[in-house]
Structure 1
């Protein structure tokens, strides 16, 4: 009988730790900030397929922006930063539309996110996202360590894709970017003209980067189409990530891949 009582007590403790109803673990909006791996959905542990990483979700507490990856596609949306502590008001969450061999995990992630109403802190720095019932968490999140950092962007990179289209090899002036991480400066060529300027990062979002106010020379070339795509993409860049096939991908605010860089 003692063994049964001890077991039931342990279950009660675990349930209390995982409950969104607990006032002891009441979280603030600031606790949401950053990128989080999704490690559990409706009580079932997430097991990524070989060669894949955990789906993840990120919250920018200064802008109310939500982004991440649901297992195949990049997701994006918003949340109310002025909601009461412990309440999570997510807006419509959208995603890109790639097809992957198995979409089951992605469907489960998106379905779970659509049910989230509250959040709370768990042990070991984890977060629980819960629904109205305040019972078992719908999602359990663990802090995510980005697989690429701003430091990794240093050096010279060949631009192989811009605006969703591949850039042909053998151009007279092959587009490239060279990033000086220490000084946060960028130099390169868009396909015709030389570009220079600075890049901006965000200490609250390790994946954020943008290229405001780039300047370029004003030469005219026979074909300016590639340059137009490169400069437009650079003006829209908001985040970056390592690509599965190698290289670095730059994404716009909608989570669309708009630039691909390969180390020279």
Structure 2
């Protein structure tokens, strides 16, 4: 029994260390998103259809470190909330938007419709990718210069 004690103790220390590392990783992943601002590059649908905005600056999203989110969706602006309960997980709260009528060809209606279905994100090569549930498509954003 005594021979096994150092081994068991070592396993407990390793398990506790790994648990702390996982918790830190989750927190750091969400922290990477807080305090960032992005503009839309394109939307890639699950049907391989690609939509690009006429002006990237008309489609922006800012994630506050406090869980607030603000967005410009073409001719409208909105505010809401966001949270990340695990690595690469994203939950966006309802978006309170102004109600201007955007011009034909706008991506406004699609983005507003998809807002509630965004479930995950990844930052890769300095771009933010927001994924819709059920492989519904991916929004690609780039950092706003500034």
TM-score band, normalised by shorter chain: 0.5 to 0.7
1:90 is aligned to none
How many residue pairs end up in the alignment? 125
Are 1:193 and 2:73 counterparts?
Answer: no
Question: What's the offset of the Cα at 1:250?
Answer: 1.1
The 5-angstrom pairing of residues 34-45 of structure 1 reads none
2:141 is aligned to 261
CA 1:259–1:195 in structure 2 vs 1: closer, same or farther (change >3 Å)?
same
Are 1:167 and 2:52 counterparts?
Answer: yes
Say if 1:161 and 1:167, in contact at 8 Å, map to a contact too: yes
3-state secondary structure, aligned to 2:134: coil
2:31 is aligned to 151
How big is each residue's C-alpha offset from its partner over 1:96-134, in whole Å with a ceiling of 9 and x where there is no partner? xxxxxxxxxxxxxxxxxxxxxxxxx9x955xxxxxxxxx
TM-score normalised to the size of structure 1?
Answer: 0.40
2:121 is aligned to 240
3-state secondary structure, aligned to 1:208: coil
CA 1:227–1:168 in structure 2 vs 1: closer, same or farther (change >3 Å)?
same
RMSD: 3.2
3-state secondary structure, aligned to 1:162: strand
The 5-angstrom pairing of residues 1-264 of structure 1 reads 124-125=14-15, 145=25, 149-153=29-33, 154-162=35-43, 164=45, 165-170=50-55, 174-181=58-65, 183-202=66-85, 205-223=86-104, 225-243=106-124, 245-264=125-144
Question: What's the offset of the Cα at 1:206?
Answer: 2.4
Question: What's the offset of the Cα at 1:257?
Answer: 4.2
Using CA pairs below 8 Å that are at least 6 residues apart, which structure has the higher relative contact order? 2
Give the greater-gyration-radius structure (CA).
1
Q: 1:254 & 1:238 partners in 2: Cα distance?
A: 9
3-state secondary structure, aligned to 1:207: coil
Q: 1:170 & 1:210 partners in 2: Cα distance?
A: 26
Question: What's the offset of the Cα at 1:178?
Answer: 1.1
